[in-house]
């Protein structure tokens, strides 16, 4: 319940960010449309507000839709985008084999298909689950997880990622990745 409340708050903050962007673009358009005669200017121009809202909406929505479409193949696209390397089932690396065993155990316990496992070349301790549904989910852990965590600790990290798979957080996260990309696209254009 707490996670759902925080997720709702996060979505509200994203909506507020877009509304603030619209207000900033409106202010910029208002400033650009004023003449230099220093005459009093009305701050209410519905046509400029509509133009700002449409412009921000098209850029954020279009860029966000592009990014979501790019990630449409599910969790694998996210893992590869972040530089992950899939761990083959035939690996001879002891830590990677242990990771595969843990993921398989968790999938069996959760009653979901065993997701592909990726390792990110990152020295810190980090992990994520990505995908639209349990059937296209992946689990990725950083090399730091493999280097520094005990089996029990690694199992706890993987269990946490499976909670994201089971609660459907991943679908929302991919949409939020698209929204963040849309906001970034607007800043890049600016």
- The residues that are catalytic are 161
The bridge status of strand 117-120 relative to strand 138-142 is parallel
Token pair of 60 as six digits: 């954020």
Beta strands (DSSP E) in the chain are 85-86, 117-120, 127-130, 138-142
CA distances from 157 to 3, 37, 164 (A): 17, 63, 11
CB 130 within 8 A of CB 175: no
CB 102 within 8 A of CB 146: no
């Amino acid at each position: 319940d707490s996670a759902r409340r925080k997720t709702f708050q996060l979505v509200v903050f994203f909506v507020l960010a877009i509304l603030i962007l619209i207000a900033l673009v409106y202010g910029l358009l208002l400033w650009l449309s004023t003449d230099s005669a220093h005459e009093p200017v009305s701050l209410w121009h519905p046509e400029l507000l509509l133009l700002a809202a449409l412009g921000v909406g098209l850029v954020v929505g279009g860029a966000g839709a592009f990014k979501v479409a790019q990630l449409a193949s599910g969790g694998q696209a996210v893992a590869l985008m972040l530089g992950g390397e899939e761990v083959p089932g035939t690996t001879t690396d002891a830590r990677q084999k242990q990771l595969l065993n843990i993921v398989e155990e968790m999938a069996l316990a959760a009653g979901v298909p065993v997701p592909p496992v990726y390792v990110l070349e990152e020295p810190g301790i980090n992990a994520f689950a990505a995908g639209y549904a349990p059937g296209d989910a992946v689990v990725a852990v950083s090399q730091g997880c493999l280097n520094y965590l005990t089996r029990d600790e690694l199992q706890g990290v993987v269990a946490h990622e499976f909670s994201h798979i089971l609660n459907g957080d991943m679908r929302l996260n991919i949409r939020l990745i698209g929204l963040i990309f849309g906001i970034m696209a607007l800043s890049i254009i600016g």
